[in-house]
Amino acid sequence: MRTPTPGGGSAAAYTAALGVALLSMVANYSLGKASKDVDRKLRKILKENDKVRRRLLELVDLDAQAYLKVVKTRKAAPAIRQKAFRQARAVPVEVSRLCYQVVRQAPFLVAKGNKYLLSDVEVAVEFLLAAFHAAMINVRVNQ
């Protein structure tokens, strides 16, 4: 059976969730290795990342639902079609915003995190950048 979902928007959200999960793993393995101030910041990162990762996983499904609405409006009036496109844009806009929010943790994790996990931070950044760019492609396409 052919189905147009999941598509690139869902893949972007899932890829971002993987990047967030990697940053969380680095933060977890870095706890207890430095000062209490560093541990406090790491716990804050973990709390933020748990919330963001869960939201990104929700966005995987929301993107698919939004795209299916676009497909259903192909022959609808222009106003209805524009509304569907506007709703479809909202998901990748949120994905890109969340990627930007989380990728800003990388410098701290590089400086204060477990030195044996620097490659994991780098991979996480690559995932987040790829997800950001993929989400922005979907924003552009859904204009």
85-119 pLDDT, tens per residue?
888 899 999 999 999 999 999 999 999 999 999 99
72: tokens are: 């259903």
Could you tell me the pLDDT band of residue 122, with boundaries at 50, 70 and 90?
Answer: very high
Side chain identity, residue 105:
Q
Comparing CA positions, the residue from 19, 143, 18 lying closest to residue 81 is: 143
Q: Could you tell me which residue, 7 or 39, shows the higher pLDDT?
A: 39
Residue 84 structure tokens: 């569907």
112 within domain boundaries: yes
Amino acid at 96: S
Domain that holds residue 105: 8-141
Contact 135, 93 (CB under 8 A): yes
Q: Is residue 2 part of a domain?
A: no
Mean pLDDT of the chain: 94
Please report the pLDDT score of residue 92 as a whole number: 95
**Res 97: pLDDT:** 98
Number of domains the chain contains? 1
pLDDT above 90: residue 131? yes
| 21: exposed, middle or buried (Cβ count in 10 Å: 0-12, 13-18, 19+) | middle
The domain spanning residue 115 has which CATH number? 1.20.120.680
User: What is the DSSP secondary-structure string of 33-48?
Assistant: SS-HHHHHHHHHHHHH
Residue 1 lies in a domain: no
Amino acid 68: pLDDT: 87
Query: Is position 3 within any domain?
Result: no
CA–CA gap between residue 66 and residue 138 (Å, rounded):
12
